[in-house]
Amino acid sequence: MARLRSGSRLTGTALRVTIIIGENDTWRHKPLYAEIVHRARGAGLAGASVFKGIEGFGASSLIHTSRLLSLSEDLPVAIVIVDTDARVRAFLPQLDELVEEGLVLLDDCEVIRYVGRDSDAGRRATRTEGAGPA
């Protein structure tokens, strides 16, 4: 069973939810993937990541691709969230509200290492990223 410990640690068995939608899907004029990530954060979930696909097809059987000669305006996007079974399942009603077209997958998984960084260290890293030499 997954457990959260002090210092933002999650280890053991967990539940992964993967949401596959189109990059042009929106919620109230904002990207749907951004709304899902912000709601996951608001729900206190351990984390969420968004991955943009380069090619794919779904229920419509239309192939969407990023290849130069066949540019797509709606590439696949996957949002991956991992947390305890209870926390992920408590979040599912929000996904039901948000995702009108797409695919929502649940997978059992095992978390080997999940350690949040110190908030001061995170602020320092953000300030120095891309700064280049002084």
Contacts of 54 (CB under 8 A, 6+ apart): 65, 66, 75
Which position has the higher pLDDT, 33 or 134?
Answer: 33
pLDDT band at 119 (very low <50, low <70, confident <90, very high): low
Total domain count, the chain:
1
Cα-Cα-Cα-Cα dihedral of 125, 127, 128, 134, to 10°?
Answer: -160
- The verdict on residue 134 lying in a domain is no
Confirm whether 133 is domain-assigned: no
Q: What's residue 17's pLDDT?
A: 98
* Number of residues that make up the chain: 134
What integer pLDDT is reported at residue 71 of this predicted model? 60
Does residue 52 surpass a pLDDT of 70? Answer: yes
Residue-level pLDDT at 93: 98
Band (62; pLDDT cuts 50, 70, 90) = confident
Domain that holds residue 116: 3-128
